[in-house]
Amino acid sequence: MNTQQTKVWDIFIRVFHWSLVATFAIAYLTEDDFTTLHVYTGYSIITLIILRLIWGLVGTRHARFNDFVVSPKNVIRYLKDVIQFRAKRYIGHNPAGGAMVLALLASLSMTVLFGMLVYGSAEFSGPFSFLGDSVGNSMADAFGEVHEFFANFTLLLIFLHVVGVAVASLQHKENLVRSMFTGYKKTDNMINHNNET
């Protein structure tokens, strides 16, 4: 048996991932009663996302967007392969995982953006505090609705993300969660997007 390991997730990706999990959980649980903590975890989330976007351009090989962002056609083809239990094993994010990374980052960004708009228009605080004087209560309520929608939509994406991680781990008999802690994956049967036919 080949037990050779290769480094896939650098330290930035691992710290980013588990910090995002923690900050999202805190933000979700503090929405009603702990406004200051809720707001500061929101700022932490958007800071993490901005750093991740930069790392997606200049970071290590499997952290880069050009390593895992593929066309929707390839994502659908990959999902069909998953259903038929013949999906290839990828060393970085697989095509569906890559699409999910983008969806999670986008949905989290929208959640934080609309959170800051609510905070500015209803509480006259934060980067959009200038909105307080110019928008009415109905607009602040609308921002609140959109903020809540994206928070719940993100939760749905997280559920699908965790299911996807579990399915890929089972199909390829590997522990992807452990890899997100250690940074390493086994090198047998692996393919990179660049090697795709």
x-or-dash string of contact with ligand HEM, 37-56, rule CB under 6 A: ---------------x----
Q: Which residue has the tokens 């939760």?
A: 155
Q: Which of 51, 69, 79, 101 binds ligand HEM (CB under 6 A)?
A: 101
In the bound state with ligand HEM, the residue whose beta carbon lies nearer, of 41 and 121, is: 41
Buried b (16+ CB within 10 A) or exposed e, 59-68: bbebbebebb
Nearest distance, CB of residue 110 and ligand HEM, angstroms: 13
* Type of residue numbered 104: L
Q: Least separation, in Å, of the C-beta of 174 and ligand HEM?
A: 9
- Residues in binding contact with ligand HEM, number by CB under 6 A: 21
**Which among 1, 21, 39 has a CA at the least distance from the CA of 122?**
39
Residue 7 or 161 with smaller CB distance to ligand HEM: 161
For the beta carbon of residue 156, count every other beta carbon within 10 angstroms: 10
| 182, amino acid identity | T
Smallest gap from residue 5 Cβ to ligand HEM (A): 14
* DSSP secondary structure letters along 116-132: HHHHHHHHS-STTGGGG
**Which residues of the shown chain bind ligand HEM in the complex (CB under 6 A)?**
13, 16-17, 20-21, 24, 52, 63, 93, 97, 101, 104-105, 158, 161-162, 165, 176-177, 179-180
